Amino acid sequence: MPRNKYGEEIRHRFDPSEDPWYSSVPRSALVFYNPDKNISQLRIVSKPNPTPDDTSLVVYIDGACRNNGRPTARASYGVYFGPNSPYNWNGLLDESLPQTSTRAEIEALKRALLIIGVITQLDQSLYRIRIATDSSFLVKALSQWMERWIERGGVGSNGRQVAHFKILKWLYDWLNRWEDKDETGWSEIQLWHVPRNMNREADALANKALDEA
């Protein structure tokens, strides 16, 4: 498990370069789509060639917001499990929610978790969950910062209330409950920070929701 500069374990963050199961697998071959399960999965290191990790599930998420920061802003989200997967999902943020790109990313994660819950109920062999996002804030918030925010009552290091703290804590609690549900201790759900060029499909889904609005 990766650690921060203080030597503390960083929960809920996936970095394939730091994981011996995946570090030797070429990035171009790391994720593949399994049409039998309608999901994307990982390959693990094996000789002579990487082999599928049948316990894994990979989903890409993204949020979009047009006219961000303006009264006319409209935000949306996309959740991508693979080409033509029936689990792919997108939509607009409810008008009662803040119409910002950050809130859109959060909504994408929330929707992904709900769908993952359905998938893993149908297929309980899937217990290594990786949620790929290009939002550095979302990954750090849920893997590094949340425990300290909770200790401070939702106040950040700058002395101000953390934006979207309530929903972020709900997501953090959901991640912890998911890992704790399996008494064997093998369940894990982690966020994976990826570059934008690896997240184009989820971005396209989010923008499709705006185009069709």
Query: pLDDT for 157-205, tens place per residue?
Result: 898 999 999 999 999 999 998 877 655 556 889 999 999 999 999 999 9
| Buried residues in 167-188 as b, exposed as e (16+ CB within 10 A) | ebbebbebbeebbeeeeeeebb
Separation between Cα atoms, residue 20 and residue 25, nearest integer Å:
10
| Residue 146 · residue 173 · CB < 8 Å | no
Residue among 134, 210, 131 at smallest CA distance from 178? 131
Long-range contacts of 169-175, Cβ-Cβ distance < 8 Å, separation of 24 or more: 170/110, 171/106, 171/109, 171/110, 171/113, 171/142, 172/12, 172/142, 172/146, 174/113, 175/12, 175/113, 175/142
The residue-averaged pLDDT of 17-38 equals 93
Stated pTM of the model = 0.93
Q: How confident is the model at residue 1 (pLDDT cuts 50, 70, 90)?
A: very low
pLDDT of 157: 87
Return the structure tokens found at 168. Answer: 């972020």
Domains along the chain? 13-211 (3.30.420.10)
